[in-house]
């Protein structure tokens, strides 16, 4: 009994005090660490905000060729970046990055600070060292000539900067800024955006620096076929190539030669290339005989190959490559030129009216010959203004970049070494096949009525990844709405617009919509206005293709929905690509993965 009472006897008072003091000391230490960490986090955040602002100023100074200003700003940026990195580099931060809940915030700030310091010390110094030369004027023609020697001089610096920026972008890829604590979202997201833009610009600059000397005829002469696609009569990559021109490049000097229309590049009586088995199943034989149909395929490198062979067959001219633009891309470039007077009375082009004039007014008000003249005059006038250096180079290149991003400006080279550089870029307009873990989805349109009614076509596609299935297979759904904005009396419009009525009643649109599933995947459902459609088993580049034929009346909207699965192991974000239409729209859109 006594031993039981002894066990229950309270501990001495001084032991309780010692334990309480220890707990208070530990709590104080934790509070001190939290306050210290919070103070350092605020310092790091402030330094990152300052660095982001300085980086934007530096970019503007480099573009403007402000050598002294760029060097001074780089020094301040390096100080801010070093301060942010030094603040977040230590044992406390390393431990904090492993703490549940807050750890990802700590790690994000560490990573961003490290990246900014890397960019400031590795990517930017070689660019700033040549800031007088590294500006958009370097890539722009003056008096019809691009200075190829200047391009080659700056190439090593651009390549060095690009490598550092690509590494930086990869490090930031795994950070979801919107999931961080509120005070961190702004600076982290802003730096991700700026690094992403800089990495994209640097990769484009590297591509230009590597391609321009050879493609602009350094020590030789190059010839190119320029196709102007007409989105009012839609094809997979934009529209029919009813207007073309021959371009020549020699030692950086650009000139435009013969211009013509479909009548000057008549249909070949026989295929100019051998069509593949899948092409014979998917597309009409005119793919390989008619310039208007070379782009019924959404794979522009194939279109370029066929167009080159067609020019050789019909006109006995050799070209080294094919370039394609459309009136929407031309409108982007007209931002830089301002209004452009043409030889046609009252035909003044500007960024606002170019699309309407070339794709609609021309067909409503002009005769057949003047319709062809309008495209030729517009193309030559814009070409002359740009090559003579009469436009703001920043706005010209900005317009071209937007045109490339929307898949409206495309280039194919017959030289294997050049095409190898172009192929992976957006400039190629290539239909993707096997792209590893990235699933690609496509919706491409074709006119089936030989009219210009797609000027009145509005369409949009929403894409969502719904489920992640075993084997890292994603289920992806699409919903495409197509609306005719044509007036109710469209049947009375000019025949150049509505067609002859042979294939569809005048005023209506007849379209073929082709849907492409990811590589190795397939369709499980295709519906038009909620009515199940036949699912075809055609393929191109290892991707299942199905089609829907539909007719749209003025004011009518039709909806096509699809459900598909990806191939195995395609657990990355999907990419959706589509036909660029009359309205400016984003292309190659990323879709959040259901497996991540």
Helix, strand, coil shares, percent, the chain, to 5: 50, 25, 30
Contact 511, 445 (CB under 8 A): yes
> Given the DSSP bridges, would you call strands 221-235 and 321-325 parallel, antiparallel or unpaired?
parallel
Would you list the domain boundaries of the chain? Answer: 22-215, 221-413, 431-591
Above 90 in pLDDT, residue 529? yes
Above 60 in pLDDT, residue 275? yes
Mean predicted lDDT score pLDDT of the chain: 87
Percent of the chain with pLDDT over 90: 55
Kindly report the CATH number that applies to the domain delimited by 221-413. Answer: 3.40.630
Question: Nearest to residue 256, comparing CAs of 413, 390, 386?
Answer: 386
Q: What is the largest CA-CA distance in the chain?
A: 120
Above 80 in pLDDT, residue 462? yes
Task: Give the pLDDT score at 29.
Answer: 47
Helix, strand, or coil (residue 277): helix
Q: Do domains 221-413 and 431-591 have the same CATH topology?
A: no
Dihedral (CA of 359, 236, 216, 328) sign: positive
Percent of the chain with pLDDT over 70: 89
CA 212 to CA 92: how far, in whole Å? 50
**What are residue 565's phi and psi, to 5 degrees?**
-120, 155
Distance, CA of 224 to chain centre: 24
Mean local confidence (pLDDT), 504-515: 97
Looking at 472-590, list the stretches that DSSP marks H as alpha helix, in order from N- to C-terminal side. Answer: 495-498
Task: Give the pLDDT score at 471.
Answer: 96
Mean local confidence (pLDDT), 307-336: 95
**What are residue 519's phi and psi, to 5 degrees?**
-55, 130
Pick from 169-178, 206-215, 468-477 the range whose average pLDDT is largest: 468-477
Contacts with 240 (C-beta within 8 Å, 6 or more apart), sequence order: 229, 230, 233, 262, 292, 293, 295, 447
Pick from 381-385, 388-392, 394-398, 400-404 the range whose average pLDDT is largest: 400-404
Pick from 81-85, 181-185, 542-546 the range whose average pLDDT is largest: 542-546
Q: Which of 212-216, 382-386, 562-566 has the lowest mean pLDDT?
A: 382-386
Question: Encoding tokens for residue 395?
Answer: 């706005």
**Confidence grade of residue 38 (pLDDT, cut at 50, 70, 90):** low
CA 511 to CA 550: how far, in whole Å? 5
Any idea which residue has 């722009």 for tokens?
Answer: 140
Mean local confidence (pLDDT), 475-503: 96
Helix (H) or strand (E) holding 213, with range, is helix 182-215
Dihedral (CA of 9, 10, 12, 18) sign: positive
Tell me the pLDDT tens digit for each residue of 222-235.
999 999 999 999 99
**Confidence grade of residue 321 (pLDDT, cut at 50, 70, 90):** very high
Task: Give the pLDDT score at 94.
Answer: 72
Helix, strand, or coil (residue 158): helix
In the sheet with 509-519, reading across from the earlier edge strand, the strands are: 538-540, 543-552, 509-519, 440-447, 574-578, 589-591
Tell me the pLDDT tens digit for each residue of 54-74.
877 877 777 666 778 888 888
Task: Give the pLDDT score at 13.
Answer: 46
Tell me the pLDDT tens digit for each residue of 157-208.
888 888 988 998 888 887 888 877 777 777 788 888 888 888 888 888 889 8
**What are residue 278's phi and psi, to 5 degrees?**
-70, -35
Mean local confidence (pLDDT), 493-504: 94
Task: Give the pLDDT score at 2.
Answer: 45
Higher pLDDT, 182 or 254: 254
Mean local confidence (pLDDT), 122-139: 71
> CB-hemisphere CA count at 13 Å for 197?
13
Count of helix runs (H) and strand runs (E) in the chain = 17, 18
Per-residue DSSP letter, 11: P
Question: Nearest to residue 250, comparing CAs of 202, 282, 205, 215?
Answer: 215
Contact 292, 262 (CB under 8 A): yes
**Confidence grade of residue 14 (pLDDT, cut at 50, 70, 90):** very low
> Which residues sit opposite 515 in a β-bridge?
443, 546
CA 583 to CA 460: how far, in whole Å? 11
* Neighbour-count burial of 353, counting CB atoms closer than 10 A to its CB (0-12 exposed, 13-18 middle, 19+ buried): middle
Q: Which of 118-122, 442-446, 571-575 has the lowest mean pLDDT?
A: 118-122
Task: Give the pLDDT score at 9.
Answer: 57
Architecture of the domain defined by 431-591 = Sandwich (2.60)
Q: How far apart, in Å, are the Cα atoms of 469 and each of 395, 479, 590?
A: 46, 21, 20
């Amino acid at each position: 009994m006594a031993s039981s009472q002894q066990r229950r006897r309270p501990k001495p008072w001084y032991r309780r005090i010692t334990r309480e003091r220890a707990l208070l000391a530990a709590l104080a230490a934790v509070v001190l660490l939290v306050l210290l960490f919070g103070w350092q986090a605020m310092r790091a955040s402030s330094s990152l905000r300052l660095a982001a602002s300085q980086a934007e100023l530096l970019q503007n100074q480099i573009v403007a060729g402000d050598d002294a200003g760029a060097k001074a700003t780089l020094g301040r940026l390096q100080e801010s970046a070093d301060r942010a990195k030094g603040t977040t580099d230590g044992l406390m931060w390393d431990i904090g990055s492993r703490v549940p809940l807050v750890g990802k915030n700590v790690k994000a700030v560490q990573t961003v600070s490290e990246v900014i310091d890397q960019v400031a010390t590795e990517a930017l110094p070689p660019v700033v060292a040549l800031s007088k030369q590294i500006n958009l004027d370097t890539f722009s023609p003056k008096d019809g000539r691009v200075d190829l020697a200047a391009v080659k001089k700056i190439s090593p610096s651009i390549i060095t900067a690009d490598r550092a920026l690509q590494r930086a972008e990869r490090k930031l890829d795994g950070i979801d800024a919107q999931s961080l604590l509120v005070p961190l979202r702004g600076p982290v997201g802003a730096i991700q955006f700026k690094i992403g833009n800089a990495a994209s610009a640097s990769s484009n600059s590297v591509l230009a620096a590597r391609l321009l000397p050879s493609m602009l005829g350094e020590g030789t002469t190059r010839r190119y076929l320029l196709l102007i696609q007409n989105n009012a009569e839609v094809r997979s990559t934009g529209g029919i190539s009813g207007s073309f021109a021959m371009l020549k490049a020699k030692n950086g000097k650009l000139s435009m030669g013969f211009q013509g229309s479909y009548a000057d590049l008549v249909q070949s009586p026989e295929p100019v290339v051998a069509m593949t088995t899948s092409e014979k199943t998917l597309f009409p034989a005119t793919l390989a005989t008619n310039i208007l149909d070379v782009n019924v395929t959404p794979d522009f490198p194939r279109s370029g190959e066929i167009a080159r062979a067609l020019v050789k067959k019909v006109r006995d001219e050799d070209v080294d490559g094919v370039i394609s633009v459309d009136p929407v891309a031309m409108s982007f470039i007209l931002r830089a030129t301002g209004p452009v007077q043409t030889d046609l009375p009252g035909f003044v082009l500007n960024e606002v009216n170019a699309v309407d004039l070339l794709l609609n007014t021309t067909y409503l008000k002009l005769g057949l010959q003047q319709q062809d003249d309008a495209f030729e005059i517009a193309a030559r006038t814009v070409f002359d203004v740009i090559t003579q250096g009469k436009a703001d180079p920043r706005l010209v290149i900005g317009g071209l970049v937007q045109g490339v991003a929307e898949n409206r400006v495309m280039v194919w080279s017959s030289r294997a070494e050049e095409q190898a550089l172009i192929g992976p870029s957006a400039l190629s307009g290539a239909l993707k096949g096997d792209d590893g873990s990235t699933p690609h989805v496509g919706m491409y349109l074709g006119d089936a009525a030989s009219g210009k009614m797609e000027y009145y076509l509005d369409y949009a596609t929403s894409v969502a990844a719904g489920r992640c299935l075993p084997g890292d297979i994603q289920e992806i759904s699409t919903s495409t709405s197509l609306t005719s904005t044509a007036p109710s009396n469209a049947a009375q419009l000019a025949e150049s617009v509505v067609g002859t009525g042979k294939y569809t009643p005048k005023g209506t649109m007849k379209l073929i919509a082709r849907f492409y599933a990811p590589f190795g995947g397939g369709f499980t459902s295709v519906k038009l206005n909620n009515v199940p459609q036949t699912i075809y088993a055609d393929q191109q580049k290892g991707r299942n293709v199905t089609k829907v034929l539909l007719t749209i009346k003025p004011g009518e909207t039709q909806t096509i929905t699809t459900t598909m699965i990806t191939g195995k192991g395609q657990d990355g974000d999907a990419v959706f690509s589509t036909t660029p239409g009359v309205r400016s729209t984003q292309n190659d859109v990323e879709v959040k993965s259901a497996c991540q």
